[in-house]
């Protein structure tokens, strides 16, 4: 436990970045079918997960026709091991077991999503590892349908 560095705030943002709109609605709905949607820019080819309404690289408008389905497999681009979490009132709670949050680039995607990495000892987690999604037993069309990622895939 000697290598734990105390921080005053979260050193990363765990969550999705999206622009609200039909894309996000579709993305969440399709999760019920265990499908992960992205948007592929027809101009520059950049692929976003979750899908969005405008390309952040070249500002091309993205629509229904630019939606693309991605596999639930990808590479762990980077990760962080959390030992505490916020309780919603600005206080840190000790997690007991460390939690790994990974930045994952799905196959065919250019943007990353942030998801918990489980089924692995946090000490064994490595950048560049292959990971795959673990779905909830009953998917309902909500973000929580993607429970976490685990090592594997391909
Ligand atoms: Zn573009």
| Beta-carbon count within 10 A of 138 CB | 7
The pLDDT tens digits of the residues spanning 12-47 come to: 555 555 455 788 889 999 999 999 999 999 999 999
pLDDT band per the 50, 70, 90 thresholds, residue 154 = low
Is the pLDDT confidence value at 9 over 60? no
Mention every residue, 6+ apart, whose C-beta is less than 8 A from residue 146. Answer: 31, 36, 72, 115, 133, 134, 135, 136
pTM (whole model) above 0.75 = yes
| Ligand 1 centroid, distance to 111 Cα (angstroms) | 12
| Ligand 1 centroid, distance to 62 Cα (angstroms) | 9
Residue 96 phi/psi, 5° resolution? 80, -75
- Going by C-alpha positions, the residue among 73, 131, 71 that lies closest to residue 101 is 131
Q: Which CATH number applies to 73-151?
A: 2.40.50
| Domain definitions of the chain by residue range | 22-70, 73-151
Is the pLDDT confidence value at 1 over 80? no
End-to-end CA distance of the chain: 34
The pLDDT tens digits of the residues spanning 106-139 come to: 999 999 999 999 999 999 999 999 999 999 999 9
| Ligand 1 centroid, distance to 58 Cα (angstroms) | 4
């Amino acid at each position: 436990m000697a290598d734990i560095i105390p921080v005053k705030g979260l050193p990363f943002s765990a969550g999705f970045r999206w622009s609200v709109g039909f894309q996000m609605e579709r993305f969440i709905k399709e999760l019920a079918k265990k499908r992960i949607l992205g948007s592929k820019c027809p101009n520059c080819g950049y692929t976003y997960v979750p899908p969005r309404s405008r390309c952040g690289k070249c500002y091309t408008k993205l629509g229904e026709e630019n939606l693309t389905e991605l596999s639930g497999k990808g590479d762990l681009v980077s990760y962080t091991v959390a030992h505490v979490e916020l309780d919603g009132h600005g206080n840190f709670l000790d997690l007991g077991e460390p939690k790994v949050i990974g930045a994952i680039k799905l196959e065919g995607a250019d943007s990353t999503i942030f998801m918990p990495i489980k089924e692995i000892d946090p000490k064994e987690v490595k950048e560049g590892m292959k990971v795959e999604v673990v779905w909830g037993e009953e998917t309902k069309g909500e973000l929580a349908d993607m429970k976490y990622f685990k090592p594997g895939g391909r």
